[in-house]
Amino acid sequence: MKTNCNIISFHECGELDVLNVENVTIQDPVNDEVLFKVDAFALNRADVLHYQGFHTTLPDFPSRIGSEATGEVVKIGNKVTDFKVGDRVTSIPFNTAKYGVQGEYAVVPQNYLTKVPENLTVEEACSIWMQYSTAYFALFHIGNVTKGDYVFIPAISSSAGYGCFELARDAGATIIGSTRTSTKKMELEQLGINHLIITQEENVEKRLMELTQGAGVSFVYDPVAGAFCDEYLEALSRGAVVIIYGLLDPNPTLFPLVPLIRKKAIMDAYSQFNHVEDIDKLNECKKYILDRVEKGVLKPLIGKVFDFKDYKKAYEYMLSNQQVGKIVVRVNN
């Protein structure tokens, strides 16, 4: 049997207008694949890079898009052991040009699914894995962040930034966030982000040194890169780790050899994809995150919800940089 449905796809790379809703026929899942009816999906900056052709994962045309969705299992492959028809699932991003989840139905291998935590809404359930798994491997597998560390999170109003804030706070670190303007300051402070640098109004290096009492920051979770790196490199502590996981600054990111040597610091060209391909590490991450989600320690922050017919408005909203938290599209109400 086959499933006929509407999906978001693109046939060439470019700007937002390359995305369109297309009616397609999805083959039944085989082997370890799971087919689920999508209730909602979340947007990520990686999706924009994907349709623009700048992501590390290159599209295979015609290409689906998206990596985070939640819904109900309707069919399973013959080697699926972890799920059954009727289970509610949510997907984990991984490096793939074959699978995409933005649409009415999606197919995902069982390793990159988990059951939906019962204490989350539909919108929250599709917003777990990009933000928390990305931060998890960066914080604990590369940065070895522990209690008492100073952690700097630029663009902390993003879902990725806020997810890192929650995990680092849970680990006992002191978090310093940044945002470009004062527009989101009050909202971020209400979320418990007490140390906040307004990058267009303040000297980043100076404020980092003030907030760390001259010690410097031991971990940086940077989605901006480009010229922005120069604003904090002299405020690193000795042995610091800098994670570059995004490209919000379109300018080239030059490798700062001398500043890193001076600080005995590491700059990591980071992708969560390079970690979740190790299934043992992935399962460790699943256990850690789900335990904290189910206890209420971690709770995805939802910025705004759109209907499926307004998916382009959802992308436009993301590109406007107005949001605090995750942007979600509801498919089935």
pLDDT category at 248 given cuts 50, 70, 90 is confident
Q: Is residue 288 scored above 80 in pLDDT?
A: yes
Q: Is residue 333 scored above 80 in pLDDT?
A: no
How many other CB atoms sit within 10 Å of the CB of residue 44? 23
Residues 150-183 have pLDDT tens digits of 999 999 999 999 999 999 999 999 999 999 999 9
248, β-bridge pairs: none
pLDDT category at 298 given cuts 50, 70, 90 is very high
Residues 96-150 have pLDDT tens digits of 888 999 999 999 999 999 999 999 999 999 999 999 999 999 999 999 999 999 9
Q: Which two tokens stand for residue 272?
A: 């969560």
Q: Is residue 222 scored above 90 in pLDDT?
A: yes
| pLDDT for residue 1 | 65
Looking at residues 194-212, what average pLDDT do you find? 96
Please report how the helices 311-320 and 45-52 are oriented relative to each other, as an axis angle in degrees rounded to 10.
100
Give 277-325 as a 3 state SS string. Answer: CCHHHHHHHHHHHHHHHHCCCCCCCEEEEEEHHHHHHHHHHHHHCCCCE
Distances (CA, A) of 21 to 65, 101, 158, 322: 11, 13, 26, 25
Looking at residues 289-297, what average pLDDT do you find? 96
Mean pLDDT (the chain, rounded): 95
| pLDDT for residue 123 | 96
Topology of domain 131-273, CATH: Rossmann fold (3.40.50)
Q: Domain coordinates of the chain in residue numbers?
A: 2-128+300-330, 131-273
Domain 2-128+300-330 has CATH 3.90.180.10: yes
